[in-house]
Amino acid sequence: MDAGKLFRLDGRVALITGASSGLGERFAETAAANGAAVVLVARRKERLEALKAKIEKAGGRALVAPADVTDRKAMVAAFDAAEKAFGTVDLLVANAGIARVTKIVDMTESGWREVLDTNLDAVLFWSREAAKRMIAARKPGAIITISSIAGFTVAYGLSSYHVAKAAVVQVTKALALEVARKGIRVNTIAPGYIVTEINRDYLGSKDGQALQGSIPLGRFGAPSDLDGAFLLLASDAGRLMTGSTIIVDGGLMLMVGG
Ligand code: NAD
């Protein structure tokens, strides 16, 4: 088997949420570089336009579909625009996410809801929309959610993030079970620390540097360190995988309790 061909995404239509920076931007570029037409979703339109231009310059196909992932009307519009431009989305990457630091005793209801709406509810509803449209079009496909090793651990002040990411693992498994017979695979990637806008300040701080020292493979990741896991789950290479969680963390989870 030619490894190059096994991981290709030719003819696929990929919609990536949170494509304006970090991991989402990288997933979009990787999908496009491997043959998929990509639909770029986030709120920052100028960033998406710049990414579209970069992808097209490299020979790929891209569409900008600005949306807040918590807005269901904007969600339907993004899928409609994708369908009109390229056909049914058969690869969803539910990636958009935020982190807010507040201890539970200081938490407001709106603060809690903001993180859960973005990191959990949106993952569920965008995945549901993608699955419904694939089923209606009788098209097999793949859904990739982005959880985190934070779904398995807790740290001070990040309860809403931890709870949402743990729930994303369960949403992934529940949906995987329900749509498997329709030829739709649903898996999650649980990254460790990957340097992006969500954590750059913290990881660059003294505490962050100490944390880096405790990672068995010795470093934080770059978005490109997820290319392999992403292409495995997106492509035919992962054809018998569904409901799986792939941890990509430099071995950090091995240190829990160690
Ligand atoms: P990032 O801040 O660079 O990217 C997050 C993206 O989500 C941005 O494009 C942002 O605009 C978008 N987004 C946030 N809220 C949105 C909303 N309401 N509507 C539309 N778009 C919205 O951070 P990242 O590290 O690339 O994060 C991507 C995903 O990876 C997140 O779900 C994050 O929780 C997860 N993750 C990141 C790490 C890490 O170490 N970087 C580790 C584990 C999991």
Say if ligand 1 is within 6 A of residue 145 CB.
no
CA–CA dist 83, 79 (Å, integer) = 6
How does 112-121 read in b/e, with b if 16+ C-beta sit within 10 Å? beebbbbbbb
Q: Which two tokens stand for residue 100?
A: 């807010």
Domain membership of residue 258 (yes or no) is no
pLDDT in tens, 115-124: 999 999 999 9
pLDDT at 4: 85
Which residue's CA lies nearest to atom 36 of ligand 1?
148
Domain membership of residue 102 (yes or no) is yes
Domain membership of residue 232 (yes or no) is yes
Name the band, by pLDDT with cuts 50, 70 and 90, for residue 135: very high
Which residue's CA lies nearest to atom 21 of ligand 1?
42
Domain membership of residue 256 (yes or no) is no
Q: Which two tokens stand for residue 118?
A: 């973005």
Residues 6 or more apart whose CB falls under 8 angstroms from that of 195 comprise: 203, 220, 221, 222
Mean pLDDT of the region 32-51: 98
pLDDT in tens, 216-241: 999 999 999 999 999 999 999 999 99
Domain membership of residue 257 (yes or no) is no
Q: Which two tokens stand for residue 224?
A: 């490109």
Domain membership of residue 254 (yes or no) is no
Name the band, by pLDDT with cuts 50, 70 and 90, for residue 105: very high
Ligand 1 centroid to residue 59 C-alpha, Å: 26
CATH code, domain carrying 26: 3.40.50.720
3 state SS of 2: coil
Say if ligand 1 is within 6 A of residue 121 CB.
no
Count of structural domains within the chain: 1
CA–CA dist 54, 32 (Å, integer) = 10
To the nearest whole number, what is the mean pLDDT of the chain?
A: 97
Q: Are 18 and 57 in contact (CB under 8 A)?
A: no
How many residues are recorded in the chain? 258
Number of neighbours of residue 161 by Cβ within 10 angstroms: 23
Give the predicted TM-score (pTM) of the model: 0.98
pLDDT at 257: 62
Residue pointed to by tokens 């017979």: 181
Domain encompassing residue 75: 3-249
Ligand 1 centroid to residue 1 C-alpha, Å: 35
Say if ligand 1 is within 6 A of residue 148 CB.
yes
Statement: residue 29 has pLDDT above 80: yes
CA–CA dist 93, 91 (Å, integer) = 7
Domain membership of residue 255 (yes or no) is no
CA–CA dist 178, 195 (Å, integer) = 34
Statement: residue 21 has pLDDT above 70: yes
pLDDT at 80: 98
Say if ligand 1 is within 6 A of residue 189 CB.
no
Mean pLDDT of the region 131-143: 98
Name the band, by pLDDT with cuts 50, 70 and 90, for residue 258: low
Mean pLDDT of the region 127-137: 99
CA–CA dist 33, 133 (Å, integer) = 25
- Ligand 1, residues 196, 202, 252: which to mutate, most atoms within 8 A of Cβ? 196
Name the band, by pLDDT with cuts 50, 70 and 90, for residue 72: very high
Mean pLDDT of the region 90-114: 98
Statement: residue 60 has pLDDT above 70: yes
pLDDT at 1: 87
Helix or strand run (H / E) with residue 222:
none
pLDDT in tens, 147-174: 999 999 999 999 999 999 999 999 999 9
Q: Are 175 and 186 in contact (CB under 8 A)?
A: yes
